Amino acid sequence: MARRVSTTHKLVTTVAAWIVGFVIFFPILWMVLASFKTELEAFAIPPSFLFFHWTTENYAAVQERSDYLHHAINSIVIAGGSTLIALLIAIPAAWSMAFAPTKRTRDVLLWMLSTKMMPPVGVLVPIYLLYRTFGLLDSRGGLIIVLCLGNLPIVVWMLFTYFKEIPRDILEAARMDGATVGRELIYVLTPMALPGIASTLLLNVILAWNEAFWTLNLSTSAAAPLTVFIASYSSPEGLFWAKLSAASTLAIAPILVLGWFSQRQLVRGLTFGAVK
Amino acid sequence: MKHHIGALAGALSLFAAAPCFAQTTLTIATVNNGDMIRMQGLTSNFTAKNPDITVNWVTLEENVLRQRVTTDIATKGGQFDVLTIGTYEVPIWGKQNWLVPLDKLGASYDAGDLLPKIRDADTVGGKLYAAPFYGESSFTMYRTDLFKKAGLAMPNAPTWDFVIDAAKKITDKSAGIYGVCLRGKAGWGENMAFLTAMANSYGARWFDEKWQPQFNSPEWKTTLTTYVNLMHDAGPPGASSNGFNENLALFNAGKCGMWIDATVAASFVTDPKQSRVADNVGFALAPNNGLGKNANWLWAWNLAIPAGSKKVEAAEKFIAWATSKEYAELVASKEGWARVPPGTRSSLYQNAEYQKSAPFAKLTLESIDSADPNHPTVKPVPYVGVQYAAIPEFQGIGTAVGQQFSAALAGTTSVDAALAAAQAQTEREMKRAGYIK
Amino acid sequence: MTKETQRVGRLALTPAVALLFIWMIVPLAMTIYFSTLHYTLLNPGTEAFIGLDNYYYFLTDPAFLYSMRNTLLLVGSVLAITIVLGTLIAILLDQAVVGRSIVRLMVIAPFFIMPTVSALVWKNLLMHPVSGLFAFLATSLGLTPIDWFTDAPLLAIILIVAWQWLPFATLILLTALQSLDEEQKEAAEMDGAGAVSAFFYITLPHLARPITVVILIETIFLLTVFAEIFVTTGGGPGLATTNIAFLIYLQALIEFDVGTASAGGLVAVMIANIVAFFLVRIVGRNLDA
CA dihedral (B324, B330, B335, B338) positive or negative: positive
Chain B residues touching C147 at Cβ < 8 A:
237-238
Query: Taking CB atoms and an 8 Å limit, are C106 and A241 in contact across chains?
Result: no
Residue A250, domain extent: 66-273
Which candidate in B62, B252, B403 is best for mutational testing of the C interface (most C CBs within 10 A)? Answer: B403
| Sequence-separated (6 or more) residues with CB below 8 Å from residue B354 | B332, B337, B340, B348, B361
Under the banding of pLDDT at 50, 70 and 90, the label for residue A271 is: very low
> With contact defined as beta carbons under 8 Å apart, do A147 and A213 qualify?
no
pLDDT digit string (tens) for B184-238? 988 899 899 999 999 999 999 999 999 999 999 999 999 999 999 999 999 998 8
Query: Taking CB atoms and an 8 Å limit, are B79 and A220 in contact across chains?
Result: yes
Q: How far is CA B346 from the centre of its chain?
A: 18
Backbone angles phi, psi at A29, to 5 degrees: -60, -45
**Whole-angstrom distance, CA of residue B48 vs CA of residue B34:** 23
A94, part of any domain: yes
For chain B, give the percent of residues with pLDDT over 70.
95
Statement: residue B75 has pLDDT above 80: yes
A153, part of any domain: yes
**Whole-angstrom distance, CA of residue A191 vs CA of residue B243:** 55
What pLDDT score does B5 carry? 53
Long-range contacts of A231-235 (CB under 8 A, 24+ apart): A231/B60, A231/B61, A231/B64, A231/C116, A232/A66, A232/B32, A232/B58, A232/B59, A232/B60, A232/B61, A233/A62, A233/B32, A234/B32, A234/B61, A234/C116, A234/C117, A234/C120, A234/C231, A235/B32, A235/B61, A235/B245, A235/C120, A235/C231
pLDDT digit string (tens) for B402-425? 989 999 999 989 999 999 999 999
Q: pTM score, two decimals? A: 0.86
**Whole-angstrom distance, CA of residue C79 vs CA of residue C218:** 7
Residue C183, domain extent: 85-242
A59, part of any domain: no
Under the banding of pLDDT at 50, 70 and 90, the label for residue A182 is: low
Q: How far is CA A150 from the centre of its chain?
A: 13
**Whole-angstrom distance, CA of residue A276 vs CA of residue A165:** 7
Chain B residues touching A137 at Cβ < 8 A:
77, 79
C234, part of any domain: yes
Partners of C37 in the beta sheet? C49
Query: Taking CB atoms and an 8 Å limit, are A45 and B253 in contact across chains?
Result: yes
Nearest CA in chain A to C1: A100
Instruction: Write down which chains contact chain A via at least 3 CB pairs under 8 A.
Output: B, C
pLDDT digit string (tens) for A57-115? 888 888 878 888 899 999 999 999 999 999 999 998 988 888 888 888 888 888 998 88
Nearest CA in chain A to C244: A119
**Whole-angstrom distance, CA of residue B381 vs CA of residue B210:** 9
Q: What is the DSSP string of A131-179?
A: HHHTT-TT-HHHHHHHHHHHHHHHHHHHHHHHHHHS-HHHHHHHHHTT-
| Largest pairwise CA distance in chain C | 78
A41, part of any domain: no
C130 or B62, greater pLDDT: B62
Query: Taking CB atoms and an 8 Å limit, are A120 and C136 in contact across chains?
Result: no
- Torsion (CA) A32, A38, A40, A42 in degrees, nearest 10: -10
CA A247 → CA A234, A256, A258, C113, distances in Å? 10, 14, 18, 12
Specify the 3-state DSSP secondary structure of C104. helix
Chain B residues touching A124 at Cβ < 8 A:
71
User: Chain B: nearest CA to A57, how far in angstroms?
Assistant: 13
C169, part of any domain: yes
Statement: residue B379 has pLDDT above 90: yes
> With contact defined as beta carbons under 8 Å apart, do B219 and B297 qualify?
no
DSSP state of B340: S
Is the minimum CB–CB distance between A233 and chain B shorter than 8 Å? Answer: yes
C266, part of any domain: no
Please give the tally of structural domains in chain C. Answer: 1
Over range B236-245, report the average pLDDT.
88
Residue C138 is inside which H or E element, if any? helix C133-140
Strands B256-262 and B131-143: antiparallel
- Count contacts between A and B (CB, < 8 Å): 88
C201, part of any domain: yes
Question: Could you give the residue range(s) of every CATH 3.40.190.10 domain in chain B?
Answer: 15-136+298-357, 138-297+375-433
Strands B82-86 and B24-31: parallel
Is the minimum CB–CB distance between B239 and chain C shorter than 8 Å? Answer: yes
Nearest CA in chain B to A238: B245
User: Which CATH superfamily includes the segment(s) B138-297+375-433?
Assistant: Periplasmic binding protein-like II (3.40.190.10)
Specify the 3-state DSSP secondary structure of B124. strand
Instruction: Choose among B176, B186, B393: nearest Cβ to C237.
Output: B186
What is the ipTM metric for this complex? 0.82
A40, part of any domain: no
Specify the 3-state DSSP secondary structure of B153. coil
What pLDDT score does C137 carry? 84
Under the banding of pLDDT at 50, 70 and 90, the label for residue B128 is: very high
Query: Taking CB atoms and an 8 Å limit, are A123 and C27 in contact across chains?
Result: yes
- Torsion (CA) A163, A165, A168, A174 in degrees, nearest 10: -60
pLDDT digit string (tens) for A136-177? 999 999 999 999 999 999 899 888 877 776 777 777 777 677
pLDDT digit string (tens) for B255-284? 999 999 999 999 889 888 888 899 999 999
A247, part of any domain: yes
Which candidate in C124, C250, C256 is best for mutational testing of the B interface (most B CBs within 10 A)? Answer: C256
CA B214 → CA B190, B208, B225, B426, distances in Å? 20, 7, 15, 9
Partners of B288 in the beta sheet? B159, B294
Is the minimum CB–CB distance between B416 and chain A shorter than 8 Å? Answer: no
CA B339 → CA A40, B37, B40, B329, distances in Å? 19, 12, 14, 10
Closest Cα partner for C157 from C149, C167, C145, C147?
C149
Backbone angles phi, psi at B60, to 5 degrees: -140, 165
Which candidate in C23, C97, C105, C112 is best for mutational testing of the A interface (most A CBs within 10 A)? Answer: C112
Please give the tally of structural domains in chain A. Answer: 1
Instruction: Choose among B56, B60, B273: nearest Cβ to A231.
Output: B60
The CATH number given to whatever domain includes residue A116 is 1.10.3720.10
Count of Cβ atoms closer than 10 Å to residue C78 Cβ: 26
Statement: residue B19 has pLDDT above 60: no
**Whole-angstrom distance, CA of residue B382 vs CA of residue B435:** 11
Chain C residues touching A195 at Cβ < 8 A:
none
What pLDDT score does B84 carry? 95
Is the minimum CB–CB distance between A232 and chain B shorter than 8 Å? Answer: yes
The CATH number given to whatever domain includes residue C217 is 1.10.3720.10
pLDDT digit string (tens) for B130-187? 999 999 999 999 999 999 999 999 999 999 999 999 999 999 988 889 999 999 988 8
Which candidate in C4, C13, C218 is best for mutational testing of the A interface (most A CBs within 10 A)? Answer: C13
What pLDDT score does A274 carry? 37
Query: Taking CB atoms and an 8 Å limit, are A239 and B58 in contact across chains?
Result: no
For chain A, give the percent of residues with pLDDT over 70.
86
What pLDDT score does B367 carry? 93
User: Chain A: nearest CA to B395, how far in angstroms?
Assistant: 16
**Whole-angstrom distance, CA of residue B436 vs CA of residue B282:** 45
Nearest CA in chain C to B417: C238
Which three-class secondary structure string do you get for C145-212? CCCHHHHCHHHHHHHHHHHHHHHHHHHHHHHHHCCCCHHHHHHHHHCCCCHHHHHHHHHHHHCHHHHH
Q: Which of residues 145-204 of A touch B (CB under 8 A)?
A: none
Query: Taking CB atoms and an 8 Å limit, are B37 and A132 in contact across chains?
Result: no
Residue B328 is inside which H or E element, if any? helix B325-335
* Alpha carbons within 13 A on the beta-carbon side of C254: 23
User: Which CATH superfamily includes the segment(s) B15-136+298-357?
Assistant: Periplasmic binding protein-like II (3.40.190.10)
Over range B83-111, report the average pLDDT.
89
A33, part of any domain: no
A127, part of any domain: yes
Q: What is the DSSP string of B187-201?
A: STTTHHHHHHHHHHH
- Count contacts between A and C (CB, < 8 Å): 309
Backbone angles phi, psi at B85, to 5 degrees: -130, 160
pLDDT digit string (tens) for B308-363? 889 999 999 999 999 999 999 999 999 888 889 999 999 999 999 998 888 899 99
10-residue mean pLDDT profile of chain C (289 residues): values are 78 91 92 89 78 88 90 95 93 83 86 86 82 82 83 91 92 73 70 74 78 87 89 80 88 80 90 87 70
Statement: residue B124 has pLDDT above 80: yes
C32, part of any domain: no
